[in-house]
């Protein structure tokens, strides 16, 4: 369902593949609330706590840039599967 007006409240969801599922659930639950928009910014197979030198995702930098660009009213960070190492 396409919103007629852009959302006035934006929630940024960051993390790995589990964050993607969280964002999907939030979108589903908030489908009847068009003033709230979910911004999915996940990277599958990436960890937030343990930085892997092989990874191109440096989460602190990515988070700062996304927050500055998107200006969300709330940020949800999900520490997930890849952070059990």
pLDDT at 70: 93
pLDDT at 49: 64
8 A C-beta contact, residue 57 and residue 27: no
pLDDT at 78: 83
pLDDT digits (tens, 9 = 90+) for 64-83: 999 999 999 999 988 776 66
Q: Say which residues have a Cβ less than 8 Å from residue 76's Cβ, sequence separation at least 6.
A: 11, 12, 13, 14, 19, 22
pLDDT digits (tens, 9 = 90+) for 8-32: 999 999 888 888 899 999 999 999 9
pTM of the entire predicted model: 0.78
Chain CA centroid to CA 58, Å: 15
């Amino acid at each position: 369902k396409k919103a007629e007006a852009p959302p006035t409240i934006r929630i940024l969801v960051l993390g790995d593949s589990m964050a993607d599922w969280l964002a999907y659930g939030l979108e589903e639950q908030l489908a009847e609330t068009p003033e709230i928009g979910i911004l999915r910014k996940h990277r599958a197979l990436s960890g937030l706590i343990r930085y892997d030198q092989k990874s191109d995702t440096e989460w602190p930098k990515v988070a700062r840039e996304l927050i500055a660009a998107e200006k969300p009213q709330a940020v949800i960070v999900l520490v997930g599967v890849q952070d059990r190492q």
